[in-house]
Structure 1
């Protein structure tokens, strides 16, 4: 089952909306600055969650409309002063609006890609672009192998960054077939998390949110043992796949 078909995981975030907004990372400033063509440019943020990327784009001068299906996540975004339409992208009606930029920030894997790209193509202004964004947090210390042991038997699809759709040849093929140029831009930054902040961050991911409560607590205990008091050193290999129309 692909993630966009797994509606249980897709709808799991609202129960942890405040925690998600507090602990999920923002996007590197240079990444955001490179996306906004100028003040007053129009941006559609699809699957906006709690508005993490939307707020950064708005602060950079864009006029942002956020689309988010989960009412609790949308409420957190709206509390930031953002314009939020509560709907799935599939059901959302643009009402004649077009956009200079359509963004999927950490959300493209939750839509059916072929139909989503077709819809995006009809929403872009002349010269408009699609941007697919991912923060890709990679643990440096403790090691990935240590974390694998902590997750073993609890989260079956514990996923390393190299296994995501953003790294797959399939994404390039889908974009090409939909008439988009595929321009990849990477932005690196070093991060450090306290033990508690790391655990609170990773437990906002759908594979953990959908666990039974006792399994979540076991995972938290294993992670505390794995990490100890030193926290987690990590890197964010943030990726922007910026896609003008051919």
Structure 2
């Protein structure tokens, strides 16, 4: 698995765009969330909760949620939506005697050191508890990434792969199984259409876009808008829940 957790420049880039992140990042398909909530009041920990996108959905589905988020600006947005948040990295966060029925990493597992994180999860799960890694995996189909790659190569180089695409499922599965979990993958596919403006608003919440210098970011956005044109972007979200049970 690409060790994005070591790139703190990217990991810590989201707070400055917390409002845009909350506005433009997609919500998870309801069916994916519903699969996780096996009982009302399920004690749930949302790790790397960001602005509370998954937390709010889990609460609405009936869970009792505690969020852990290292960035105070992101945590502030989540708290403003009624989410209980503790500000810390997962590595530094202290659970005390608290345990959970469900631990969720929603688009955030790539920002932690995986092996220590898995060991910590095992220590805080109640008997019968589960770990779930959630990902919205949005891929443009018209135009495709390949149609835009010559533009991106001028700005992002080896960082062209977006956060959405960074987690390699086979490698993640092997790591999790190595940590003593069994894995069950569930997915929901959505057909999407974005206006050009909405697509650009989304991709410019990804860390490889956020960390560009302002002038380069503006120039990249302009070139992408011109290439995409008035039709916008047809895309597919192959949303994934990697549901893990301790062996």
Shorter-chain-normalised TM-score: which range?
over 0.9
CA distance in 1, matches of 2:49, 2:171: 23
Tell me which moved more, 183-192 or 106-115: 183-192
What SS does structure 1 have at the residue aligned with 2:201?
helix
Structure-2-length-normalised TM-score: 0.96
Structure 2 matches for 1:67-146, cutoff 5 A? Answer: 67-146=68-147
What SS does structure 1 have at the residue aligned with 2:150?
helix
Cα deviation 1:145-165 (Å, max 9, x = unaligned): 212122121011211689632
CA distance in 1, matches of 2:168, 2:85: 26
Alignment match, 2:191: 190
Gaps of 5+ in 2: none
CA distance in 1, matches of 2:224, 2:213: 17
Matching residue within 146, 164, 167 for 1:165: 167
Alignment match, 1:220: 221
Structure 2 matches for 1:4-43, cutoff 5 A? Answer: 4-43=5-44
- Across the aligned residues of Structure 1 and Structure 2, the Cα RMSD in angstroms comes to 1.4
Change (3 A) 1:110 1:162: closer
Cα deviation 1:125-146 (Å, max 9, x = unaligned): 0000000111000001112221
Alpha-carbon contact 1:137-1:161 (below 8 Å) kept: no
Gaps of 5+ in 1: none
CA distance in 1, matches of 2:230, 2:70: 38
CA distance in 1, matches of 2:56, 2:149: 34
